[in-house]
């Protein structure tokens, strides 16, 4: 399966073989992937949501063309959430732009690494995808999910959402031996006016044994949850889970520490 979508404006054979290409990363998960691959120093601009302290270039849905032009990139990497026509309109002459995936499965995260290795003309970096695959598979084998029913929630405050089928977290925790109970396809947004308006309502509907919340500390809203069915609640640093990137490896080490409680 191919995960690469390319706008090829100018891509000379052998480009970047001996130097670092100027890369704009239009999403934090892409920046984290570039860092894992040893290409962090090639990043010259990032989205407004990144924390690298570099010039910002808007977001995935509304990239800042003027800021991108000023940075004179060789490569623009964005997610599939950037519309193709938008990407074509903001790509400077002489640059190439690529839409990466990753939000539906762990295999897509690996495919992103192989794509990046190809576009920067560093074929040896494709081995980072194989390394990542081995590490996350080995890590999930060390977690004793044992079929426990789990619900995966982004947070208890703001506009929380739950992860269902065809998401990287559903894939990851299923490999770790859990039964992810969310029945919605991909993401379920939990908010007033929706079918499920509150987290407690979702817990009473799906009846998980475990609730994993991806925020550093349990918020007061989490502590006040009173589902009808007894449930154990655990929180994890969202920075290690909410991006489809190699930071997931750090998150898995934290989940592994729960084995004695599971």
CA angle 91, 94, 95 (to 5 degrees): 45
Q: Is the pLDDT of residue 256 over 50?
A: yes
Query: Is the overall model pTM greater than 0.75, yes or no?
Result: yes
Domain residue limits, the chain: 5-137, 142-256
For 252, the 3-state DSSP assignment is: helix
Q: Is the pLDDT of residue 198 over 70?
A: yes
Q: How far apart are CA 143 and CA 139, in angstroms?
A: 7
What's 126's DSSP letter?
G
Side-chain-facing half-sphere of 150: CA atoms under 13 Å: 29
Q: Tokens 């808007």 — which residue?
A: 58
Q: What confidence tens digit (pLDDT) does each residue in 163-186 have?
A: 999 999 999 999 999 999 999 999
Short-list 16, 262, 245, CA closest to 122: 16
φ/ψ of residue 183, rounded to 5: -100, -15
Q: Is the pLDDT of residue 4 over 80?
A: no
Q: Which two tokens stand for residue 11?
A: 């891509």
Q: How far apart are CA 6 and CA 96, in angstroms?
A: 8
C-alpha to C-alpha distances, 64 to 26, 61, 68, 93, 124, nearest whole angstrom: 10, 10, 6, 15, 32
CATH number of 5-137: 3.40.50.1980
User: What is the Cα gyration radius of the chain?
Assistant: 20
Q: How large a percentage of the chain has pLDDT more than 70?
A: 92
Neighbouring CB atoms inside 10 A of 233's CB total: 17
CATH number of 142-256: 3.40.50.1980
Short-list 194, 184, 179, CA closest to 163: 184
Q: Which two tokens stand for residue 69?
A: 């032009």
Q: What confidence tens digit (pLDDT) does each residue in 201-254 have?
A: 999 999 999 999 998 776 677 777 778 878 999 999 999 999 999 999 999 999
Equal fold, 5-137 vs 142-256 = yes
**Strands, sheet with 96-100, edge to edge from the N-terminal-most edge strand:** 5-7, 96-100, 75-79, 23-25, 43-46
């Amino acid at each position: 399966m191919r995960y690469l979508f390319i706008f090829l404006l100018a891509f000379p054979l052998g480009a970047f073989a001996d130097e670092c290409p100027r890369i704009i990363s239009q999403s934090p998960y892409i920046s984290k992937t570039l860092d894992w691959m040893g290409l962090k120093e090639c990043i010259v601009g990032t989205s407004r949501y990144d924390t690298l302290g570099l010039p910002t270039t808007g977001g995935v849905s509304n990239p800042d063309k003027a800021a991108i032009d000023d940075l004179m990139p060789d490569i623009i990497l964005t997610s599939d959430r950037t519309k193709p026509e938008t990407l074509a309109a903001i790509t400077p002459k002489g640059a190439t732009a690529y839409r990466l995936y990753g939000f539906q499965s762990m295999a897509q995260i690996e495919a992103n690494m192989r794509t990046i290795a190809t576009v920067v003309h560093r074929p040896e970096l494709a081995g980072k995808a194989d390394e990542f695959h081995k590490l996350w598979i080995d890590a999930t084998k060390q977690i004793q999910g044992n079929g426990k029913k789990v619900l995966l929630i982004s947070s208890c405050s703001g506009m929380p959402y739950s992860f269902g089928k065809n998401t990287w977290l559903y894939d990851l925790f299923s490999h770790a031996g859990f039964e992810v109970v969310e029945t919605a396809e991909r993401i379920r947004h939990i908010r007033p006016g929706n079918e499920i308006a509150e987290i407690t309502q979702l817990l009473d509907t799906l009846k998980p044994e475990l609730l994993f919340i991806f925020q550093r500390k349990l918020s007061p809203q989490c502590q006040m949850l009173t589902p009808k069915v007894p449930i154990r609640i655990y929180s994890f640093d969202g920075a290690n889970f909410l991006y489809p990137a190699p930071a997931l490896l750090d998150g898995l080490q934290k989940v592994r520490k729960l084995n004695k409680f599971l």
